Each structure stands twice: as structure tokens, then as C-alpha cells.
Chain A
Amino acid sequence: MALERDKHVAQHALLTLDEAQLLAMYRKMSLIRRFEEKSAEMYTRGKITGFCHLYAGEEAVAVGAIEALYDKDYVVSTYREHGHCLAKGADPRAVMAELFGKATGISHGRGGSMHLFDPDIRFMGGYAIVGGGLPLAVGLGLSIAYKEEPEVACCFFGDGALPQGAFHESLNLASLWKLPVIFICENNFYGMGTLVQNAICQEELYRFAEPYKMPGVRVDGMDVLDVYRAVTEAAARAREGDGPSLIEAVTYRFRGHSMSDPVEYRSKREERIWQERDPIKNLRRRLLAEKRVSEARLDQIDAEVGAVIDDAVKFADESPEPPLEELAKNVYVE
């Protein structure tokens, strides 16, 4: 694996980012982790039902990528999208309320965990069909190009999306039309319980960029700065009108595919190895090693984030159910 390849560049990035940016990244990753831990707890307590796919372990991908974008850039996500949505700036209260199925939820309780959406922050949705977001990102890119806007569309998807036809149609079209799209594949090695090697003929997923004539890189998805660097480059390229890029972020989900997955297909040893590469601990260690910030400051951030999530849970719990009389609202634009 080429994970170590650009490590020195990532180290350099740590030096060039200012403290505020580094702490913002740390805060967001910590926020997502705490959000997901609470989601699991609330699921177990029956407050959240249905499907719930947690992002714990993969925080560096969403945070590194979205920190490298501008606020007006678009993000398209997957069904495992709590992290992307929060990283883009969604209110944790509205996200948690959506998981609870409440009227105050970010999608008013109509979508749930897999259908978060907030056009104000240009978070263009989680979607529940694997690979379903890619054509959408092509459309966003088309729209941006048509209106000659400076934005880019950043599209996250998992390794499970690569064998889908929509992946290939979308990369072809985005490249053919040189659209400002950044395709970010979160390779966590398993499509539910199926290993990448058993699903995809080319397990070095970034190599799918080659036939579609776009740059393809593999980055360490457990290292927020490595992701940040790659997405910064891809975004600059897209904004220059040079077209899309494919970034494979190698990462690991600490929990099962969904809350109902007993995770019997991978070993405890494998899980331990990846947990030692925890992206939050990783950044914390490096910030402390380089004396960029004090331990007390990081502890304080963790405590602040914990309070934000506790408040989000309280808000979601106390929010009203969606009113039945509004059942058919928004099926059509009136």
C-alpha cells in the first residue's frame, strides 16, 4: 500500500496550517465521533429506529476534505453521511432530530439517517442507493459549469459504489465534459460484509481514474491532513477548469455496516490494528508532539463537543413528532 508515500507532504501541511484550522479539524472530528457514539446509544435505547450507519473511524475523510473546500462548494454524500453533514456545518440538533424522526429534523422526519439534506450549507444529501449520488454530482458540476460559477462539487461514496454502473457513467461524463467534481471514494475495505477483493477486479481503487483520464490518488484516510492536501489539489484543479479527480481515501469503520451488523466477517485483531490508527488520536498525538496546542485545550474541546451533542440529544428527544396532517406536504411543489 502506498499510504506512506506522501507522509512528508502531510507533515509539511501540519506545519503550514495555522492553529485555528488545526483545532477546527480536531473539533469537527471529535464532534462527529461523539455524535456517532450517542447515536449508537440512542439506537440501542430505541430512540432511533430503522437503518443507522455510523461513521466512527472515518472522520478524517469527511473533515479533511470539507475543510479543504469553500463554504459555497457542494457536498454530495452517501447513506453513511452523518459525518459529512456535520462537517459541512449542519446543526447537530437538526441532524439528531432527524435520526429520532422528529418534526424538527433536518428533513422534517421524512428521510431519517440516510436522507439528510441542507441546501443552505450546500449539503446536497445523503442518498440510500449505493452509487446514487454520483450522477447527481455530475449534474451539480454541469450546473456550475453552465453558470460559470467558481464552485466545485465534492462527491463521497464507498468502495461498494465502484461496481455500480452509475460510477462508470458518472466518471466518464465528468471527465468528458471536464466538470468541477471531486470524487472521493472512502475505501473501508468492506461492502457490508464483502471484502473489496471479492467484489472489485481492481482493488487499488484510485486506478479507476486512469481509464477515465483524470488524476487518481490514494491517501491515508486515517490522516486528516493527508486528505486535506489531496482535496486542496483536486479542488484547485477543478476550479481551474481542468476537470474532475478521483481520490481513494483508505479508511476503516470502527463499527459494523449498520447498527444491526454483528461484524462477524473481520477479526478482532484487524479491528485493533485500525483502532490504533484512530484519526482523532492520530491528530491529537501530532499536535501535542509538535507542541502546537496544549493537552488541556484539546480536553476542553472534547468537553465542549460533548455538551453540544448532549444538547442535541435533549433537543431531539423533546421535539414533537411530525404532524400527521402534514403527511402529503412536499410531495409536489404547489
Chain B
Amino acid sequence: MPTITYAEAIKQALVEEMRRDPSVILYGEDVANFGGIFRITAGLKDMFGDERVFDTPISENALVGGGVGAALTGLRPIVELQFADFLFTAGDEVVLKAGMWRYGHGGAYRIPLVVRCPSGATATGPEHGQCPEAFFMHAPGLKIVSPSNPADAKGLLKSAIRDDNPVLYFEHKLLYATRGEVPEGEDFMVPLGKASIAREGDDLTLVAISAMVPKALKVAERLAGEGHSVEVIDPRSLVPFDRETIIESVKKTGKIVVAEESYKTLGVGAEIGAMLMENALEYLDRPLRRVAIPDVPIPTAAVLEAFVIPNEEKIYQACRELLS
């Protein structure tokens, strides 16, 4: 199996799906001539022509709203936002139009739209550094994925493009350069709504999202050296959410830590905690622990950012606390 980067995996998915289906188009700020702010789409304009890959002005309302209009008339638009934070400038179009229009209009049509959202803190501060998945998990009608490795990045994007629902695809900026084995062949897909068990274990369940997954795997390795068997679960899709895999794991371990790059209040961990209260309380022998961003905007200064973004040490300490 070839080893490629997360960024290359995303590009591979785009190329394969655009080859496969002429109704797939790709647009956004600087995607065509510049090749995308993170160079993901470099060369795609030459490959598919400027009718299918084109630049747009800085107009997020019109980009996402236009995507909804194009999607409900038979195209499969992929809109690239330069930063996930820009979802907020297109709030009406993302939440109310893409997410709720189908339902509000009696289910008369489909909205096969993908919005690609580069996420994650990279010393870029409160408006270019968020992982805002949890904000949108609250909105009915959207599907949400956050791949943590190249294979999932490719497989989930292909599924997202082929899905008939609007999908927010969060690609973590710090993962772009990470490498991993990615299956070849156009048929390789990762289903939406299915978690992956990144490492099996019996003593503690460690749920990690996106860029937290590599950190969680390192923590699990360290704890293994101390005699603890940690199961690392990567939900991959946040909507739909694979509750069963987490419940089954907790039944085995009785302990759970959630590591995420969201704000702590009403983050993904809060939802997982509530879900376990409703479905698996009797299996928990210790309280849930959340490792998340304290409820402050993400500061730009390196020392402050490093302090708020969950790191291996914080995840390790949370696990140790439950294992002691």
C-alpha cells in the first residue's frame, strides 16, 4: 500500500471523484490558479478545466449559498473555505439553507454539497484557528466528518462527495503533512458514521478527534509501558455519530477520556458524556474526563496557544487520574 500524506490523500479523493462524476465541481477562494491556500487543489484546474475548478471572490455567503442552489439542481459542488472559521460568515447558508432547507421544504430535494473546512490552531488566533465542529453538530441536517489520518481523509471525502446530504469536511491543518498508508483504487471508501478503533485495549477508553488521535496513540503507548491497556477510538464522523462503538468499549473498560480541540462547554465530549449517561451509566466506574480547550478564544501567542490546545501531557494526566 502506498504511503502518502494527508494532503495528498485529500487531493487523490478529489481527483478520483471528479473523474468519476462530471457533476462534481470544485470552487473557492484561490483554489484554481493559486492551487488552494494549502495547495491541496494545485493542478486540478489544468486537469479538469476552469468550468469545473474555479476561483471565487471572498464571498462566503454566495459561495455556500450558491453551492446549495447548484446542489439542488443536480450538481455535486465541493466548496473550499480557506479556514473552517469562515463557516461563521456563511452561517445562514450553512446552518439554515444547507442543513434545514430540505426538511423545511418537505424533503422535496437533495443537497449533495461538500464544504471543505481547514481547521485547527496553528498560531493563527481566534479567527483562523478553530476546530468548530461542535457548533455545527448542534444543527440538524448536516453531516460532519473529521479525519485523523490519510486513509480516512481519502475514504471519508469520497463518501462525503457521493453522499446526497450536505457534509462539512474538517481537514486539520496540522495533519496535512502527516503520512500514512492509503489503499489504492477508486472503490476505496470509508463509510460516514462508523468509528474506528485505532488501538485496542481493556483498561480505559480514550476517544480522540482529528489531530488528537496521533497524540492519543502516543499516550496509549506510554501507558502501555506502565502496564495499562488503553483503547483509542477515533469517531471519524461526528454526525452521524457511532455511539455503539463507544458504548461497547466502555462496557469493557468502565472508564473514558475524551480529547478534542473544541471548547469544553458543549463540546463533543459533553455530548459523549450525556450519551453515556443515557445509555451506559451502569458500566462507568469512574467519572468521564474531558480534555478540551478551556472556554477562551484561541490566543495567538505561542505560549498561550500551547497552553489551551490539549497536548499529550494533559491527555496522559487525565488517563492516569482514572487509572489510579
Contact surface of A with B, Cβ cutoff 8 Å:
74, 76, 105-111, 115-119, 124-125, 127-129, 132, 134-144, 146-147, 153, 165-166, 169-170, 172-173, 176, 329-333
User: How far, in angstroms, from A169 to B66 measured CA to CA in the complex?
Assistant: 10
In the complex, how many angstroms separate the beta carbon of A156 from the nearest chain B beta carbon? Answer: 15
Pairwise interchain contact A166-B65, C-beta atoms closer than 8 A: yes
Chain B contacts of A139 at CB under 8 A? 65-73, 77
Our pick among A118, A136, A147, A331 for the contact of B65 (Cβ within 8 Å) is A136
Pairwise interchain contact A127-B97, C-beta atoms closer than 8 A: yes
Q: Report B59-79 CB contacts with A as 1/0, cut-off 8 Å.
A: 101111111111111110100
Pairwise interchain contact B103-A330, C-beta atoms closer than 8 A: yes
User: How far, in angstroms, from A106 to B108 measured CA to CA in the complex?
Assistant: 9
Contact surface of B with A, Cβ cutoff 8 Å:
25, 51, 56-57, 59, 61-75, 77, 92-93, 96-97, 101-110, 140-141, 143, 163-165
Q: When A108-B107, A111-B104, A331-B140 are in contact, do A143 and B65 touch as well, CB less than 8 Å?
A: no
Q: When A139-B70, A147-B74 are in contact, do A117 and B105 touch as well, CB less than 8 Å?
A: yes
Extra pairs beyond A139-B67, A153-B69 (10, CB < 8 Å): A107-B105, A108-B107, A119-B72, A124-B72, A132-B65, A135-B68, A139-B69, A143-B75, A147-B74, A331-B102
Chain A contacts of B141 at CB under 8 A? 331-332
Pairwise interchain contact B103-A331, C-beta atoms closer than 8 A: yes
Chain A contacts of B110 at CB under 8 A? 333
**6 cross-chain CB contacts under 8 A:** A135-B64, A138-B69, A139-B67, A146-B75, A172-B59, A333-B110
Our pick among A76, A108, A136, A144 for the contact of B106 (Cβ within 8 Å) is A108
Question: Shortest 8 CB-CB distances between A and B: which pairs?
Answer: A139-B69, A135-B65, A330-B107, A117-B105, A139-B66, A107-B106, A169-B59, A169-B62
Chain A contacts of B104 at CB under 8 A? 107, 110-111, 115
Pairwise interchain contact B101-A173, C-beta atoms closer than 8 A: no
In the complex, what residue of chain A is closest to B102 when comparing beta carbons?
A330
Chain B contacts of A176 at CB under 8 A? 57
Pairwise interchain contact B165-A140, C-beta atoms closer than 8 A: no
Choose among A74, A138, A142, A332 the residue with the greatest number of B CB atoms under 10 Å from its CB.
Answer: A332
Chain B contacts of A117 at CB under 8 A? 105-106, 108
Count of A-B contacts judged by CB separation below 8 Å: 134
Chain A contacts of B163 at CB under 8 A? 333
Pairwise interchain contact A125-B75, C-beta atoms closer than 8 A: no
In the complex, what residue of chain A is closest to B51 when comparing beta carbons?
A146
Chain B contacts of A173 at CB under 8 A? 56-57, 59, 62, 66
Pairwise interchain contact B165-A332, C-beta atoms closer than 8 A: yes
User: How far, in angstroms, from A105 to B74 measured CA to CA in the complex?
Assistant: 25
Chain B contacts of A136 at CB under 8 A? 65-66, 68-69, 97
In the complex, how many angstroms separate the beta carbon of B133 from the nearest chain A beta carbon? Answer: 17
Our pick among B73, B96, B102, B103 for the contact of A140 (Cβ within 8 Å) is B73
User: How far, in angstroms, from A242 to B166 measured CA to CA in the complex?
Assistant: 32
Pairwise interchain contact B62-A166, C-beta atoms closer than 8 A: yes
Pairwise interchain contact A110-B71, C-beta atoms closer than 8 A: no
User: How far, in angstroms, from A51 to B153 measured CA to CA in the complex?
Assistant: 44
User: How far, in angstroms, from A98 to B110 measured CA to CA in the complex?
Assistant: 20
Choose among B56, B57, B61, B92 the residue with the greatest number of A CB atoms under 10 Å from its CB.
Answer: B61
In the complex, how many angstroms separate the beta carbon of A81 from the nearest chain B beta carbon? Answer: 12
User: How far, in angstroms, from A116 to B105 measured CA to CA in the complex?
Assistant: 6
In the complex, how many angstroms separate the beta carbon of A100 from the nearest chain B beta carbon? Answer: 14
In the complex, how many angstroms separate the beta carbon of B267 from the nearest chain A beta carbon? Answer: 23
Choose among B61, B69, B105 the residue with the greatest number of A CB atoms under 10 Å from its CB.
Answer: B69
Chain A contacts of B165 at CB under 8 A? 332-333
Q: When A115-B105, A119-B109, A332-B165 are in contact, do A138 and B57 touch as well, CB less than 8 Å?
A: no
In the complex, what residue of chain A is closest to B27 when comparing beta carbons?
A142
User: How far, in angstroms, from A127 to B63 measured CA to CA in the complex?
Assistant: 17
User: How far, in angstroms, from A155 to B125 measured CA to CA in the complex?
Assistant: 38
Pairwise interchain contact B108-A138, C-beta atoms closer than 8 A: no
In the complex, what residue of chain B is closest to A138 when comparing beta carbons?
B66
In the complex, what residue of chain B is closest to A173 when comparing beta carbons?
B62
Our pick among A105, A110, A147 for the contact of B103 (Cβ within 8 Å) is A110
Our pick among B25, B67, B108 for the contact of A146 (Cβ within 8 Å) is B25
